[in-house]
Amino acid sequence: MDGATQPLRVVVPPRLVKGFRTPPCPHSTPSWGAAHDARVASPAWLAAGLGLTGLSFVAGVVQWGVLLRGAQSMVRWRSVASWQAQSVFAGHVLPTAAAGDAVRAVNACRAAGNGTAIGSILGSRLAGSLGMALWGLAGAIMLRGTFGAPVLAAAAVYAGCIGVAWILVLTTARPALRAEPHPRGALATRGARVIASLRDGCDAIRHRTGPIVVCVLVALVGWGVQLLALGAFARALGAGVPPTLFAVALPISLVATWSPASVNGVGLREGVMAGVLVHAGVSPEHAGAVSLVIDLQMLPIAVAGAVAWMATRRRAVPRQL
């Protein structure tokens, strides 16, 4: 001791200082923030998101139904809505992205024939992809300062590929009947049948200009409503994520479903979505909560699809007996 008096230091916790925000603990995880956001979610914004999700589902029903219901088709709109809901249920239960299309194809082929059914599913898928591509391209243009030129170029290339696919659909005609050599091998035979089915489907819808225009317009509107629904869910969790950011982030996250490292992209899709949101400036806690809510968005419609499927099975059992 040198005899000098030491000044008394009083340590005030940062939480007690007005206007001071405690920095997050480096050992904290975004899951705690996601759970907190779920507990304090705004019921009004959640209701708005669910309402917009329902409108988006109705747009999907109309988008497919205008191609499936032809001049000679007796398919009712109630059946189209039921099959669409069942496809959502199958997509949530079965570990494959094609489960929903398989459910729609089985029911539609029985009601309207193979060509019309396959053509309507192909056309509705391309219309939805075109809507996603155009909204994504618009979002990439508006957020080019955040994501840069590579994302903008990728969005433009994707939109161009969907446009080329539409050109192929509208120009593909069924060939004249002639004796063609049968391919050898089971794999070659199966591939030839798939190509023939797609060709018949393209021929079934390529002359229906009016329904195709309606399908594309409804797909554009429906995808815009879907982006507004995601924005409402994000606002309910306290995250101000604009729809333009979802327009870019959602297509990028859907690429994860193609990865063989996961089952239908489960887990990887949410991680990609959260990573894109964090890159755009959203906090990790809000990004994790929003990515989880996106997966749960279609759950009410999937439950309705399960109810419709069970009702269909109950009606089918007496017929089989």
Chain centre to alpha carbon of residue 305: 17
Amino acid 284: pLDDT: 87
Q: How far apart are CA 137 and CA 177, in angstroms?
A: 42
pLDDT tens string, the chain, 321 residues long: the values are 444 444 444 444 443 334 333 334 433 444 445 555 555 678 898 999 999 999 999 999 999 999 998 755 678 999 999 999 999 999 888 867 688 889 999 999 988 888 888 999 999 999 999 999 999 999 999 999 989 999 999 999 999 999 999 998 888 766 655 545 555 667 777 777 778 788 888 888 888 889 999 999 999 999 999 999 999 999 988 888 889 999 999 988 887 776 655 555 566 788 888 889 998 888 888 888 888 888 788 899 999 999 999 988 777 655 554
Residue written as token pair 């994000």: 234
Buried b (16+ CB within 10 A) or exposed e, 88-109: bbbbbeeeeeebbbebbbebbb
Q: How far apart are CA 64 and CA 59, in angstroms?
A: 9
Amino acid 225: pLDDT: 96
Amino acid 11: pLDDT: 42
Amino acid 39: pLDDT: 59
Amino acid 26: pLDDT: 38
* Angle, in degrees to the nearest 10, between helices 186-205 and 114-142: 80
Amino acid 93: pLDDT: 84
Supply the DSSP symbol for 263. Answer: S
Contacts of 31 (CB under 8 A, 6+ apart): 288
Q: How far apart are CA 283 and CA 238, in angstroms?
A: 11
Amino acid 312: pLDDT: 83
Which two tokens mark 200?
Answer: 């018949």
CB 143 within 8 A of CB 248: yes
